Amino acid sequence: MNTIAQLAEDFLAQRTIAIIGISSKQQALANNLYKVLRTPQRTVIAVHPRMTTFEGDPCYPTLHSIPQKIDGIFIAAKAENAERAVDECIELNISHVWMHNSSGLQHSSHSSTTSSVSQSAVQKCREHNITVIPGACPLMFLENRDPFHSCLRWFLSITGKLSIK
């Protein structure tokens, strides 16, 4: 079985990543991740149902409306939106899904306000051979991560909350 670090490395190697949960609020996690992940080697696409631009780039209302192939999606929205996003991934043959959870990996059937993890969406990913990371944050796995995410990765590692079950 793959470890979270291996899954994260594979996800971050994808060339085109859509981010669901872009917000008009400056400090939103998805906004920060969009800026950090956007590199000359990687295309990052903003997704929000009511915004048309973000950071001067097009923002799309759904995955279906994006005019190019998407390799993976990151979900930083309410958990109830994850299942709809996974349905789109199945239809569009998107192979990687990462659902954010600020407290590590989601193992229980309940969701919280800090989690985008939906257990039914995780199950749906697994049934359709979509590589899924049910929790944590990509910022913990970047080479040049900030001190907060370095500490969070260390803490979640020693407490066993970075293991996929």
Q: What is the pLDDT of residues 103-132, one digit of tens each?
A: 555 544 444 456 899 999 999 999 999 999
Residue 23 lies in a domain: yes
Number of structural domains in the chain: 1
Question: Which of 72-81, 116-125, 131-140 is the least confident region?
Answer: 131-140
| 104 contacts 161 by C-beta, under 8 angstroms | yes
Q: Regarding beta strands 101-105 and 72-75, do their DSSP bridges make them parallel or antiparallel, or are they unpaired? A: unpaired
pLDDT of residue 110: 42
Helical ranges in 3-81 per DSSP H: 4-12, 29-37
CB-based contacts of 141, cutoff 8 Å, min separation 6: 5, 8, 9, 12, 153
- Residue in the block written with tokens 């991934």: 89
pLDDT of residue 112: 45
Q: Higher pLDDT residue, 70 or 114?
A: 70
> What average pLDDT does the chain have?
86
| 23 contacts 59 by C-beta, under 8 angstroms | no
pLDDT of residue 33: 92
Residue 105 is part of a domain; what is its CATH number? 3.40.50.720
Residue 117 lies in a domain: yes
pLDDT of residue 161: 65
- Check whether 1 has a pLDDT greater than 50: no
- Check whether 37 has a pLDDT greater than 60: yes
Residue 132 lies in a domain: yes
89 lies in which domain range? 4-158
Residue 19 lies in a domain: yes
pLDDT of residue 142: 79
Is the Cα dihedral 153, 86, 120, 96 positive or negative? negative
pTM of the predicted model, to two decimals? 0.86
